[in-house]
Structure 1
Amino acid sequence: MTTHRGSAPVTPRNSTTELGLPARRGTAGVPTLPEGEKQTKKDFTSDQEVRWCPGCGDYAVLAAVQGFLPDLGLRRENIVFVSGIGCSSRFPYYLDTYGMHSIHGRAPAIATGLATSREDLSVWVVTGDGDALSIGGNHLIHAMRRNVNLTILLFNNKIYGLTKGQYSPTSDVGAVTKSTPSGSVDHPFNPVSLALGSEATFVARTMDSDRAHLTEVLKAAAAHRGTSLVEIYQNCPIFNDGAFQLLKDRDEATGRVAHLRAHEPVRIGAEGSPEAKVVVRDPEGRLHVVPEQDVPQGHTVVVHDPADPDPTSAFGLSRLDDPSMQTVPMGIFRQVERPTYDDGVREQVRQATAGTVRDTASLDALLHGRDTWTVDGTRPGQVEQLLEGETTEGPTPAAGEALVEEGEEVYEDEGTP
C-alpha cells in the first residue's frame, strides 16, 4: 500500500486557546520520564507469548504501538490499555503497561471511569468491530459524544474472529460466513460515519500494514485531548482473508485511496498524473470523484479541513467508501477541540469541595433532606385498619396527607354503606 503524507496534527480552528481556555495535549497531567531517561520498544514488550494466528494483522498493529509508545515519554505505570472481548482484546497482555481485559463491549465504560477518576493516566481502548459495534455500540457512541479523553483503536476485519467466523456489524451484504451460509442480509456499519455522527472530536482511518501511516495517525490521536477514534483495517487470514487486499496492492491502492491531507485537495493518485482523480462537490452539494484534469463546470474541488467545527464535510467524505472499495478515504477525517467530559467532572468536584467542611452533620443533612421521609407508622394522618379482628397500623400517607378526608365515613367491614 502506498504511504500517505500529511497525517500529523493540525491546529484546530476552534482551538481551546481561541475560546479563552488553556490548550492542553491529550497526555497533559500524565507523569513523564525524568529528563534524559529514554525508553525503547523493548520496555513496552511484556514477557507473554504473543498468540494470534500466523499472518494476523494484529501483529503489525502491536509492533507499531510498542514502537510508538516510547515517543510519548510517559511513565509506563501511568499508561493503561483496556480491552473487551475478541482477538484484538488480547492486546493488554502483550504490553508492559497496566491493562485490563474486560468484558464484551464494555471497555469504553471502564475506560471512562479510569480517565475521569485519574487525570494522571493515559487511557487507551483496544476493541474490534464486533466488540465495539454490536454489544458495545452504546458504550462506544456515548464515550465519543461525551468526548472523554481516550484513544480508541478499533480493529476492523469485518468478521468475528475469536468466535470462529460469524458475520459482524461491518461484514458486507452477501458475506457468506458460518452464521450466514446463504449470505448476510444486514446492512453494515461504517465506523467512521458512526463516529462522526456521534460528533467525536478526532476520527481517523488507517491500515495495519502501512506502518508509517499507522504511526503518524497514532501520534496525532495520542496528542489530541478528547476522544480519538482510529479505525484500523486489519486482515483476518483465517476467516476473512484478503478483505482489504485491493488496498494492500500498491497498484490497486494508487487508484482507490483518497488521501486526507490537511488544507490539500482530496486526491486519488499522484498529483498531475493522467490517472489522478479528485473529489468534487456539485452545485447540489453532493460529492463525486472525477478525473483531476476534467472537473465539470460548476463543480468545486474539495479541500480537506479536519479542523472544521462542522462535521458535515467529513461525514460526506466518509460516505464515499463502499464495499467495492472503489474510493476509500484514508487519514484524519476530523480533528477539533471542545471541552472533555473528564476535565469537566473533575472541575465540578474541585468547585464542590473547595472551602467546604465535610463532616457527619453535613452528610446527615444530605441524607435526611426535604426529598426524604421516614416510613415508621407514626406520621400524622395515620389510619387504623381492621384485619381479621385485629387492629393494625395502616400505611403511612405520602407527604403527610391523610388517607381519609376529614368528615368522610370509614367502614370497617364489608357491609353495604
Structure 2
Amino acid sequence: MNAPVKIETTLKDWETDQEVRWCPGCGDYAILKAVQRTLPELGADPANTVFISGIGCSSRFPYYMESYGFHTIHGRAPALATGTKLANPDLDVWLVTGDGDGLSIGGNHMMHVLRRNVNMQIMLFNNEIYGLTKGQASPTSREGTKSPSSPLGSVDHPANPCAFALGAGARFVSRGFDVSKKLPEVLKAAHAHQGAAFIEIFQNCIVYNKDVFEAFAAPKGAEEHQLWLEDGEPMLFGSEKTGGVKGLSFDAERMAFDVVDVNGDDWQVAGVTRHDAKNRMMAHLLAEMPFGPYPMALGVLYDDPRPTFESAVIAEREQASSGKVANLAKLLASGQTWTVDGTAQDPQ
C-alpha cells in the first residue's frame, strides 16, 4: 500500500453540481459542509476518495461529494466498502450510514467491518429515528418515543452506537454533533487512525425528531453539558471548565465516574481524571455515561491502533503467490478435466 499523495483543494472542489435535497434545517447539511471543509485540510485527492453509503437520509451523501461514490443497498455499505478497500487498498474510503441503516438491518455488517479493522472512516449519523421512511422508531430511539411504529411510545431499550462499536472490537471510537465547530477535528482524528474509525454524529431530524439533542448539541448555550475529550488532558466541561469528571475505583460490582466542582485551575485537587484514549475500559464508561447526571462525552473516546485487515490479506496473498508463476491455462486444465472433440454423433 502506498502513502496517499496530498494535493491542494478547496471546499468548492468537493461540491457537486447536484441539488442538495434534505429537509430544510436538517443536520445533514452541516455535516456535509464539515466534511467538505475538512478534506482540503487533509490534502485529500478527489480522484483517490470514495464515499459509500447504504439507504436512508444520510445515504444521499455520495451524490453531494465531488469524488467517487457508491449508493448501495440497505445495511450492506460495510460489505461493499470492505470489498472496495481490498480491491484497491490505496483508496481513501468513507462509509456513510445512519442509526437505522447501520444498526438494524446493517448491524451484522457493521459489527464485522469493525472487528476486522478495515481501514476506513465510518460516519454514523444518529438522529434516533427513521427519517426517510417517515418517522418510525429506530434502534437508537429512546424509550417512550412516539412514532408511527410505536404510537403509544417505544418500549425498546435503545442501542448505544459507541458501546456497540467498542463491543464489536473497534479500535477508534468517537462522537460529535452536526453543528459543532469541533466536528472537523474529530473527522481529522478519525482519518489519521489506521484502521476502522467509528464516528457517531448526533444529527437533528427537523421533521420527525426535532431538537432531541438540544440539551447538549444546541448551536449556542449547550457548552455546559459538553465534555470534549483530549488524550492526556483532564476531563473538564462547561464554558469555564468548572465541572470535572472523576474516576472512582473498582468496588465489588462496578467502576464508575463522579462529577465534581472545580475551582479555578485546581482540577487536581478535585481529583479530576485525565483522559486516556488507549484505555478501553475508560472508553466504555464514557460511552455509556448517562446524559443528565453527567455531561455528554464528545471527541475521541478511544484510539488504540492495531494492524488492519487489508494489510493482513495482502501479506497472505503475497505469501501464497511467492515463487509461483501465474498460468491461467494450466490452472483451468488441472484436476479432473475432459475434452469434448466436437464430432457429431449419429443418434441412430
Q: Structure 1 length normalisation: TM-score?
A: 0.74
CA contact (8 A) 1:208 1:232 kept: yes
1:356, CA displacement in angstroms? 0.4
Largest Rg, 1 or 2: 1
Match of 1:243 among 196, 212, 229: 212
- Bigger shift: 44-53 or 66-75? 66-75
Match of 2:194 among 197, 203, 225: 225
1:255, CA displacement in angstroms? 3.2
Helix, strand or coil at the partner of 1:255: helix
Match of 2:203 among 231, 234, 237: 234
- Note if 1:175 corresponds to 2:145: yes
1:185, CA displacement in angstroms? 0.4
1:135-180 deviation digits (Å, cap 9, x = unpaired): 0000001100000001000000000000010000000000001110
CA contact (8 A) 2:75 2:107 kept: yes
Quote the residue 1:92 is aligned against.
62
Match of 1:302 among 246, 251, 273: 273
Quote the residue 2:305 is aligned against.
337
Quote the residue 1:194 is aligned against.
164
Give, as a single letter, the amino acid of the residue that structure 2 aligns with 1:281: L
Give, as a single letter, the amino acid of the residue that structure 1 aligns with 2:308: T
CA contact (8 A) 1:39 1:73 kept: yes
1:326, CA displacement in angstroms? 4.4
Quote the residue 1:255 is aligned against.
224
Matches within 5 A, 1:12-411: 29=2, 31-33=4-6, 38-211=8-181, 213-249=182-218, 253-269=222-238, 273=242, 276-284=243-251, 286-293=255-262, 301-308=272-279, 311-322=280-291, 324=292, 326-359=294-327, 360-362=329-331, 364-365=333-334, 367-368=335-336
CA contact (8 A) 2:176 2:202 kept: yes
Q: Which runs of 5+ in 2 are unaligned?
A: 339-348
Quote the RMSD (CA, aligned, Å): 2.3
C-alpha distance in 2, partners of 1:31/1:290?
Answer: 43
1:354, CA displacement in angstroms? 2.3
Q: Structure 2 length normalisation: TM-score?
A: 0.88
Give, as a single letter, the amino acid of the residue that structure 2 aligns with 1:348: E
Is the alpha carbon distance of 1:249 and 1:89 closer, same or farther for their aligned partners in structure 2, counting shifts above 3 Å?
closer
Q: How many residues are matched?
A: 330
Specify which structure has the bigger relative contact order, considering alpha-carbon pairs within 8 angstroms and separated by 6 or more residues.
1
Is the alpha carbon distance of 1:345 and 1:272 closer, same or farther for their aligned partners in structure 2, counting shifts above 3 Å?
closer
Percent identity among equivalent residues? 46
C-alpha distance in 2, partners of 1:303/1:278?
Answer: 9
